[in-house]
Chain A
Amino acid sequence: MATLEESVTGHLPDENGPQDNGGVRRRDFINIAAVSFAGAGGVVALLPLINQMNPSADVLALASTEVDISAIEPGQSIKTTFRSQPLFVRHLTADEIAKADAVDVKSLRDPQTLEERTVDGRKEWLITMGVCTHLGCVPLGAGEGENKGEFGGYFCPCHGSHYDTAARIRKGPAPTNLVVPPYSFTTDTSILVG
């Protein structure tokens, strides 16, 4: 117990050194516990502030897209959107499939066969994101009359990446093939992406 003189001259207990070991330890423990609780509370209070930046419920509700592909003839492709980004749906011709299959997979920068990039038994449907894996530009080739690049697939005009008929990177700076999003056929003429 501090004396009166100490109490009125404003000395801090820690300056005077421990006066009663047991008492001081218990005090320290309570102070540490109180500060830890406040700290933990502060950290937990940060969570909603961080979490609010995640996609909201209405954005997540649009996380999957249904695409009607009945009108796409062989050799044609369409550009649609999936999660607010371009999605290419391409109906390959037999010729394009043959061209893609003829490539020696081992020679590719990102080795993948056309089978691996399409759904079993529907090799003619090539569905990829329309986002160049280099820096995110939208490649050309899905629209009527657009430049399909040296390999007949897609061509990214930003830095000259060429993709082949399986949308694999063949030439230019892009590191990997165009991404194939998760999708499934709900019927013969419609797919559910996402």
Chain B
Amino acid sequence: MVRFGAFLVGLFFSGWLLISFIMGAIAYVTEPASPTAEHEFHLTPKHVSFSFDGPLGRYDKQQLQRGFQVYKEVCAACHSLKFVAFRDLAALGYNEAEIKAIAKDWPLKTPDVDPATGEISTRDGVPSDHFPKPFANNVAAAAANNNAIPPDLSLMAKARHHGSAYIYSLMTGYKDQPAELLRKFPDSKTPEGLYYNPYFANLNLAMAPPLSMDGQVTYGAGQPEPTVDQMAKDVSAFLTWTAEPKMENRKSAGVAVLFFLIIATALAYMSYRNIWADQKH
């Protein structure tokens, strides 16, 4: 009885799936899915190497500081960094006094309540504050940016596939729409107010090229030339750090843990062989 019922249920599901397959296959052949511009012109991120690649990679603090400078001078006006606090900058090699000064002089002030009147006001930042947001809320952000809300950047490097390379590619990927694209997809012309970038999911994004010329940010003495390429690399390194600030702890701990586990497992194996030595199995 069970087997008979099962047979019928199996026949139904399998049969209907095969019929669905045949109908799908016919549709696939007779009316193939029309290709889209995104499908054909979207690019996966460029290959770029960073000091933090690989199981033993470490952040380059100088690079993180440069990237922080790019963020501060180029990105911070529109993009928040709300999960990061000024105090976290200690990991970039800044000392306590420098962090205090950075927090105090940050162009955006920290929202607070006036202690005398109770009204909403702002004050200078202190190290324990998180980076202030450029817009009070999404409505304000959309209103100020032609309806496109600039996303928070704290986790951007983990919120995209190959995030570090993605940020670098996006920063350096702006170009004119290829003539081939327009020939094949005449309706896909980049709309007014958007910019073509093949690394962006739907090819057109609202952000104007943020790094437009070499030397846009002035790096300190002894640092590499601030070319667009270099600035893009630095800011993606910085945003990788903001997304994964504990990466160095994680990797160091991982090496120690694996070292221990390999020895312990080798011992467990020897112990297992010993205990089983006089047993056949």
Within the complex, which residue of B85, B264, B267, B278 is in contact with A30, where a contact is CB–CB below 8 Å?
B267
Which B residues touch A27, using CB under 8 A? Answer: 274-275, 277
Query: Nearest Cβ distance between residue B254 and chain A, in whole angstroms?
Result: 13
Contact status B87-A34, CB under 8 Å: no
Q: How distant is the Cα of A61 from the Cα of B90 in the complex, in angstroms?
A: 12
- A4: B residues at CB distance < 8 A: 280
| Per-position 1/0 for B147-169, Cβ under 8 A of A | 00000000000000000000000
Instruction: Say whether A105 faces chain B, with CB atoms less than 8 Å apart.
Output: no
Smallest Cβ-Cβ distance to A28: which chain B residue: B274
Q: A6-B278, A27-B274, A58-B85 are in contact. Are A37 and B127 (CB under 8 A)?
A: no
**Contact, CB under 8 Å: A30 / B270:** yes
How far in angstroms is the closest Cβ of chain B from A38? 6
Q: Does B213 contact A (CB under 8 A)?
A: no
Question: Within 8 Å of chain B (Cβ to Cβ): is A33?
Answer: yes
Out of A31, A41, A57, which one reaches B274, CB within 8 Å?
A: A31
Closest to A3 in B: B278
Given A1-B278, A6-B278, A41-B264, A31 contacting B127 (CB threshold 8 A): no
**Distance (whole angstroms) from the CB of A162 to the closest CB of chain B:** 31
In the complex, A18 Cα to B267 Cα: how many Å? Answer: 22
Bound Cα distance A17, B197 (Å): 77
Tell me the smallest distance from the CB of B83 to a CB of chain A, in Å.
11
B139 located at the interface, meaning its Cβ lies under 8 Å from any Cβ of chain A in the complex: no
Nearest Cβ on chain A to B253's Cβ, whole angstroms: 9
How many Å from the CB of B51 to the closest CB on chain A? 24
CB contact between B278 and one of A7, A33, A57 (< 8 Å): that residue: A7
Bin chain A's interface residue count: 20 to 34
Question: In the complex, what residues of B have CB within 8 A of residue A30's CB?
Answer: 267, 270-271, 274
A1 CA to B280 CA in the complex, in Å? 12
Q: Does B23 contact A (CB under 8 A)?
A: no
Q: B260 contacts A41, CB within 8 Å? A: yes
Q: Are B128 and A62 within 8 A (Cβ)? A: yes
| List of A residues within 8 angstroms of B267 by Cβ | 30, 33-34, 37
Complexed CA–CA distance, A41 and B265 (Å): 11
Q: What distance in Å separates the Cβ of B92 from its nearest Cβ neighbour in chain A?
A: 15
Q: Are B278 and A37 in contact (CB under 8 A)?
A: no
> What separation, in Å, do the CA atoms of A58 and B264 have in the docked complex?
36
Choice from A7, A13, A61 contacting B85 with Cβ under 8 Å: A61
Is the beta-carbon distance between B260 and A58 smaller than 8 angstroms? no
Closest to B269 in A: A34
For the complex, is A2 an interface residue (Cβ under 8 Å from B)? Answer: yes
CB within 8 Å of B: which A60-103 residues: 61-62
Option from A6, A8, A44, A57 in Cβ contact (under 8 Å) with B87: A57
Tell me the minimal C-beta distance from A113 to chain B in angstroms: 34
Within 8 A of A (CB), among B45-92: 85, 87
Pairs of residues from A and B, 3 with the lowest C-beta to C-beta distance, nearest first:
A2-B278, A61-B128, A34-B271
Jot down 14 A-B pairs with beta carbons below 8 A, ordered by A.
Answer: A2-B278, A2-B279, A4-B280, A6-B278, A30-B270, A31-B275, A34-B264, A34-B267, A35-B271, A37-B268, A38-B264, A41-B261, A58-B85, A61-B128
Binding site for B on A (CB under 8 A): 1-2, 4, 6-8, 13, 27, 30-31, 33-35, 37-38, 41, 44, 57-58, 61-62
Q: Which residues of B contact A (CB under 8 A)?
A: 85, 87, 127-128, 260-261, 263-264, 267-268, 270-271, 274-275, 277-280
12 further contact pairs, Cβ within 8 A, besides A2-B278, A34-B268: A6-B278, A27-B277, A30-B267, A30-B271, A31-B271, A31-B274, A33-B267, A37-B263, A37-B267, A41-B261, A41-B264, A61-B128
